[in-house]
């Protein structure tokens, strides 16, 4: 999922009046709308840690999300990006200072430390840090290891058994083409890891990617009727392109993929789309919610569910309608729930949230 730098935070205006809920006639395709824990309960614990996943499950998440990148020795680990300078204490390890470098990832230059330059054993010497410390503090920095996908599956299976309910996993393959080009393709390793665990042979799994070719490849491997694994096509900003399209010199943009014809093409290999929230209900010029876009309706017409990202509890991430006070850093549970209600009214089928307890509250209180 996409992240926002604190440097992007601006001094925004104060509280605006709460609006009437945005109403739409669209109904979900899904029999039950689900709460997806975005990188775990990442508003409350450092993302992609056992603490974040444990809190998410405790707070009622239906699925937990491990974003996947590869180590040098080919192990799948949970990090939002392969660059780990912002979410670990790697910069404080003098033994790794020389590994800081600049690489081109999906057409963009990125400077830092990269998982593919470390073995799993080396990554296990690092500790997680909060991605947004100015918003969420640093009280948990240094406490938690980086996790492998296998460790996450084991943990979720144990939690499922202890709590007597099934908990799904929604792994995201990050920068699939980039890792393929470096001899560290993740797609077959992901399928093999899922098949090797009794839990993920039957529990619901939804594999997601911002790229296209790897999802098509996975559909071919899985077939159309695989019992427990679904595929989610993530959609970035309209003017951006999938990483595999960039690598191939293609012209396809996410805007093209969100047209009725583009959605029908996605439906040939995926079960759902994962757009940015603002592609579902855009913001007006004043930062308040506008009317719902046709995306949910058009996706449903193509028999695709819509699983947008990401609801966050701080004022800064919410539409101006829902702000409480004038401080961007304010943790605004009421506003987050109200915003979720607007999107539920628009007919979404599942949603990603940094605070699954608020997602559960929104579902239980939605009319």
Residue-wise pLDDT for 345-362, tens only, equals 999 999 999 999 999 999
| Positions of the chain with pLDDT under 50 | 1, 3-23
Give the number of other Cβ atoms within 10 Å of residue 199's Cβ. 18
Note the pLDDT tens digit of each residue in 41-71: 999 999 999 999 999 999 999 999 999 999 9
pLDDT of residue 25: 72
**Spatial contact of 16 and 288, defined as CB atoms under 8 Å apart:** yes
- The proportion of the chain whose per-residue pLDDT surpasses 70, expressed as a percent, equals 93
**pTM, whole model, 2 decimals?**
0.92
Tell me if residue 102 falls in helix, strand or coil: strand
Q: What is the distance between the alpha carbons of residues 289 and 273, in angstroms, rounded to a whole number?
A: 21
pLDDT of residue 317: 97
pLDDT of residue 194: 97
**Spatial contact of 99 and 83, defined as CB atoms under 8 Å apart:** no
In CATH terms, is domain 24-82+148-365 a member of 3.10.105.10?
no
Burial 58-80 (b: 16+ CB within 10 A, else e): ebbbbbbbbbbbbbbeebbbbbb
Q: What is the distance between the alpha carbons of residues 160 and 202, in angstroms, rounded to a whole number?
A: 12
Please tell me what DSSP assigns to residue 41: T
Residue extents of the structural domains in the chain: 24-82+148-365
- Rounded to the nearest 5 degrees, what angle is found at the Cα of 312, between the Cα atoms of 310 and 318? 95
pLDDT of residue 19: 39
pLDDT of residue 266: 98
pLDDT of residue 123: 98
Comparing CA positions, the residue from 83, 90, 91 lying closest to residue 111 is: 83
């Amino acid at each position: 999922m996409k992240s926002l730098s604190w440097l992007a935070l601006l001094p925004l205006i104060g509280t605006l009046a709460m609006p009437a809920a945005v109403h739409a006639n669209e109904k979900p395709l899904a029999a039950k709308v689900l709460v997806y824990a975005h990188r775990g309960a990442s508003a409350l614990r450092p993302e992609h840690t056992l603490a974040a996943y444990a809190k998410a499950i405790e707070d009622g998440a239906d699925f937990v999300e491990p974003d996947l990148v590869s180590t040098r020795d080919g192990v799948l680990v949970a990090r939002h990006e392969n660059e780990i300078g912002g979410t670990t204490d790697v910069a404080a390890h003098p033994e790794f200072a020389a590994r800081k470098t600049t690489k081109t990832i999906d057409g963009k230059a990125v400077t830092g430390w990269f998982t593919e330059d470390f073995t799993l054993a080396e990554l296990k010497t690092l500790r997680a840090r909060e991605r947004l410390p100015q918003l969420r503090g640093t009280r948990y920095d240094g406490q938690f290891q980086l996790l492998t996908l296998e460790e996450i599956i084991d943990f979720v299976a144990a939690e499922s058994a202890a709590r007597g309910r099934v908990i799904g996993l929604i792994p995201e393959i990050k920068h699939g083409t980039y890792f393929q080009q470096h001899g560290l393709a993740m797609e077959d390793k992901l399928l093999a890891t899922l098949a090797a665990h009794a839990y993920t042979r039957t529990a619901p799994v939804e594999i997601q990617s911002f790229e296209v070719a790897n999802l098509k490849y996975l559909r071919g491997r899985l077939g159309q009727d695989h019992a427990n694994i679904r595929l989610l096509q993530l959609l970035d900003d309209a003017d951006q392109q999938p990483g595999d399209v960039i690598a191939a010199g293609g012209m396809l943009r996410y805007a093209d993929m969100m047209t009725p014809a583009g959605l029908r093409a996605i439906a040939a290999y995926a079960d759902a789309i994962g757009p940015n929230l603002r592609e579902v209900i855009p913001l007006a010029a004043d930062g308040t919610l506008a009317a719902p876009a046709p995306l949910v309706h058009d996706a449903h017409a193509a028999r695709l569910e819509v699983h947008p990202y990401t609801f966050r509890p701080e004022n800064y991430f919410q539409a101006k309608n829902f702000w409480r006070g004038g401080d961007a850093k304010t943790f605004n549970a009421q506003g987050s729930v109200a915003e979720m209600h607007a999107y539920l009214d628009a007919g979404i089928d599942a949603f990603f949230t940094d605070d699954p307890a608020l997602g559960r509250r929104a579902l239980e209180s939605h009319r």
